[in-house]
Copies of this chain bind each other. A is one copy, B any other.
Amino acid sequence: MPTIDEIARLAQVSPATVSKVLNNRSYVSAQTRERVKRVIAETGFVPSQRARWLSTQRTLILGLLIPYTSDQLFADPHLLEIMRGIESVANEREYNLLLSTARSPSQAGSAFTRLLRTDVVDAAIVVETLDVQVAAALAHPDKTWAVIGYAHAEGVPAVHADDYGGALAAARHLAELGHRRIGVISSVPRPSALDERLRGITDALAAADAPLDEALIAVGDFSLESGERAALELLGRPGRPSAIFALNDRMALGVVRAAHQLGLHVPDDLSVVGFDDISLAALFTPALTTVRQPGFRLGAAAATATFALLDGAAPGPPTVIPTELVIRGSTGPPPAPERR
């Protein structure tokens, strides 16, 4: 591959002039421009991005930092939707996406620090992480970044769904159907989004005079299998719940599987609610009642906020994306013996 110097020599101009032609910058006579362009076309010259990056101090690369292993990322339709939203906005700005996942769950910090403290990416979007050390490392003032989730650092724009409102609506829906004993499947550790969802559930059930029983909170890891295990546990005990609210859809689908295994019919014997509204939720039998949070919009909003920062705007308040309760076939009134 020729360099700009060789092109300059062939076109009998200086490298500076070739650079101007390449970037359509300042005045170059039509004649000279033509000559340079011809040489470029003839040689198939493509300027070195590496050199350009060093001199312009930009790479047009947006980092996407996901504190999960790639296995976890690719298993999570909601994360993928977020990624799609980011991709879409980045693409418009002619930015490429550099994906950074963690080698292992505990290693998220080092990978991120590496990427954020160096000059590989112009800016980054971080999917919320609980790790305080990571948050500290991230708080590097030179770097432009935004968070999808609840911001832990000052001056960093955050984008999140209305987790509280969505969970509130869904729990109210269950209470209105007549459910009094409602199981919840959460996770440990618990990202802020899940804290908010739990808060919504707690408030809705308190208002319905059917306060959330701490003993009915089981723990999963967002996977379908973990939801299945947690549900088997909740349903295997005496005084089992008549409804289970899993804090994401994949675990909710696991709950349905667990119910089938125990010979329970959904929704006649057990109501199930999820969160996210991944595409599978509507395709499942029975179709899942869930809280829709638009992943694409979350990702797009985060990317937009990041580019705004890059363009010099001041970081604004958190962007909250509305959620929506979607009632489908997996919820109904509790079975008769439990009805008042």
A117 contacts B46, C-beta separation under 8 Å: yes
A103 touches B (CB below 8 Å): yes
A32 interface contact, C-beta 8 A = no
**Interfacial chain B residues near A88, Cβ < 8 Å:** 70-71
Give CA–CA (A99, B64) in the complex, Å. 11
Say whether A158 faces chain B, with CB atoms less than 8 Å apart. Answer: no
User: Is A26 an interface residue, CB under 8 A from the partner?
Assistant: no
- The stretch that binds B, out of A48-56, A125-133, A173-181, A192-200, is A48-56
Smallest CB-CB separation from A256: which chain B residue? Answer: B283
Would A96 and B99 count as touching, CB distance under 8 A?
A: yes
A203 in the interface (beta carbon within 8 A): no
A285 at interface by CB-CB < 8 Å: yes
B80 touches A74 (CB 8 A): yes
In the bound complex, residues from chain B placing their C-beta under 8 Å from that of A101 are: 87, 91
This chain: how many copies in the complex? Answer: 2
Q: Does A142 sit within 8 A of B, measured CB to CB?
A: yes
- Interchain CB contact (< 8 A) of A54 among B54, B70, B71, B120: B54
A-B contact pairs, 20 of them (CB 8 A): A46-B117, A47-B118, A48-B54, A51-B54, A53-B53, A70-B84, A70-B87, A70-B91, A73-B84, A74-B87, A87-B99, A91-B101, A91-B103, A97-B98, A97-B99, A98-B98, A253-B283, A280-B283, A283-B284, A285-B285
Contacts of A285 in B (CB 8 A): 285
Once the chains are docked, how many angstroms separate the CA of A98 from the CA of B60? Answer: 12
Asked if residues A119 and B84 are in contact (CB atoms below 8 Å), the reply is: no
Classify chain A: how many residues form its interface, as a range: 35 or more
Bound: A88/B72 CA distance, A: 12
Contact of A53 among B50, B71, B142 (CB under 8 A): B50
What residues of chain B lie closer than 8 Å to A162, measured between beta carbons? none
Task: Please give the distance in Å from A294's CB to the nearest CB on chain B.
Answer: 14
Distance of A149 from chain B, by nearest CB (Å): 20
Residue of B nearest to A114 (CB): B46
Chain B residues near A98 (CB-CB < 8 A): 61, 96-99
> Is A108 an interface position by the 8 A CB rule?
no
Q: Is A215 an interface residue (CB 8 A)?
A: no
> Smallest Cβ distance from A147 to chain B, in angstroms?
20
State the CA gap A70–B120 with chains docked (Å). 23
Knowing A74-B81, A280-B283 are in contact, say whether A50-B119 is a contact too (CB < 8 A): yes
* Most chain B CB neighbours (cut-off 10 Å) among A98, A120, A284: A120
Closest to A70 in B: B87
